[in-house]
Amino acid sequence: MRGPELRIEHLTATHRRHPAVHHVSARFAPGSLTALVGPNGAGKTTLLRAVAGLHAPDEGHIHVSRPDGAAARVALLPQQSGMDRAFPILCRDVVLQGLWSRLGAFRGASAEDRDRAAHALEAVGLRGFERRPVSDMSAGQFQRLLFARLLVQDADLILLDEPFNAVDARTAADLLAMVHRWHGEGRTVVAVLHDLDLVRDEFPDCLLLARRKIAAGPTAEVLTAANRLEARRMAEAWDDAAPACSQAA
């Protein structure tokens, strides 16, 4: 497998016409492994949601293209903090949500689909959890469950929003190994991260965002003291009470 190229061109995405991402352009090479970093409120989640088709851009374009010309499959791992774990649903059904684009609203899961879900659960260390309610799971177990859902999606472009947040060290190590496995398979992976030491050690490429692009490229060249200072200065200058962006629709 070779993952798709992701190109973002002059992208502006807003919340109530205030820019969360402002005229950002970036390229993610096929099969690349990229960390998306920046201060809180820098627009990292908004950028991932725009690429996943969940946040309509106000300006600019997003292109996802596979080398063979086929349609790319895109999967997003959202932040745990935005999910309701009290909802009464079983682990197997959460994993089967990854097959939604194929099953649709009215087709039930086949025995093959259920076997696929069971194998995904086993791959993330949750063997035998098929009928466990998600409300009974720890934060680490729930994050493993979300990775199992990604596995059955079998996506070419994988977007991860804080994939190692609020999990124990063993879970983080297991999930990081899975990310490297996807990279080794040639998939294109973009992950929002806050741990800059982890980024330096494990992610070859990096995009530093502070609502606009500060720098992009090899991680060592991006995470310089000067670039991090510029991102911090940009964050300190943000004024969320400022007039709405005149270029937004």
Q: What is the pLDDT of residues 68-107, one digit of tens each?
A: 888 899 999 998 766 777 788 999 999 999 987 666 544 6
Q: What one-character-per-residue DSSP string does 50-88 give?
A: HHTTSS--SEEEEEEE-TTSPPPPEEEE--GGGS-TTS-
pLDDT at 249: 38
Name the residue type at position 180.
Answer: H
- Read off the pTM: 0.91
Q: CATH number of 1-73+157-164+187-239: 1.10.730.10, 3.40.50.300, 3.90.76.10, 3.40.50.410?
A: 3.40.50.300
Domains of the chain, by residue range, sit at 1-73+157-164+187-239
Model confidence pLDDT, tens digit, residues 191-222: 999 999 999 999 999 999 999 999 999 999 99
